[in-house]
Amino acid sequence: MSGWGGAQTVKVVVIGGTGLIGSKVVTALQGQGHEAVAAAPNTGVNTITGEGLEAALEGASVVVDVSNSPSFESAAVLEFFQTSTRNLLAAAMRAGVGHYVALSVVGTERLPESGYFRAKVAQEQLISSSSIPYTLVHATQFFEFLDAIAQSATEGDTVRIAPVLFQPMAADDVAGMVADVSVGVPLNGRLEIAGPEQFRFDQLIRDYLRAKDDPREVVTDPHAPYFGAELSQDSLIPADGHRVGQLHLQDWLKRQAG
């Protein structure tokens, strides 16, 4: 997408801009000639305390929030997203920001048993009810998180995974799409993005661990929770009309090995 009114340079403040996705969003935007500012506690910007927010947002046209809670415990993650988002929205309003972009997760609204997903829904409700034009980007799980997903489902030497559909994507593709969206016209709604291939969740984790010579056994369990939520067949995949990334899992694995 082009910037508003064509190829103009836009100042974009990326909250969580030094993390996995944020750093890639900053690089992508700078590569397009935009002014991208990485805002995070380690650059002096703290959305919980408000430290550094006003200065970072001065002159910004766009805020991109790809930050994440340091704790996934239900009360802590809700407190993080509500406090951070309220502070960000207030500062963005004062700065005259014209587009607020937030990265979320495909299936968030379908998994209310999970404290993490309830917190993401709360974040999205704050954004959509504000007066700032916005876009919510719902991404599927990242290839880079497969290890963490397997670890979260591990008990002893066993990994319990539900046999549901799964359509993960590369962080590079996530960041590229978030960068494009951020300098495009606000949707005042949601865009879903996903990888180019669907898998069966349990089989993918089984194959992934085997490829890494990981001895853990993957057990197919239809009731295995995913971050506290039981999954249905379509919980983690996007609806029709989603945007598809370019990098296939096998190519990503080859890059990691290389």
Structure confidence by residue, pLDDT tens digits, 38-60: 999 999 999 999 999 999 999 99
The CATH class of the 11-257 domain is alpha beta
Q: What is the mean pLDDT of residues 72-90?
A: 97
Question: In 3-state terms, the chain is what percent helix, strand and coil (to 5)?
Answer: 40, 20, 40
pLDDT tens sequence across 204-235:
999 999 989 999 999 999 999 998 899 999 99
pLDDT of residue 256: 87
Q: Are 85 and 91 in contact (CB under 8 A)?
A: no
Give the DSSP letter of residue 237: S
How many Å separate Cα 7 from the centre of its chain? 26
pLDDT higher than 50, residue 6: no
Residues 6+ apart with CB under 8 A from 98: 4, 61, 62, 132, 133, 186
pLDDT of res. 5: 42
b/e for 44-55, b at 16 or more Cβ within 10 A? ebbbeeeebbee
pLDDT in tens, 124-155: 999 999 999 999 999 999 999 999 999 999 99
Whether the predicted pLDDT of 3 surpasses 50: no
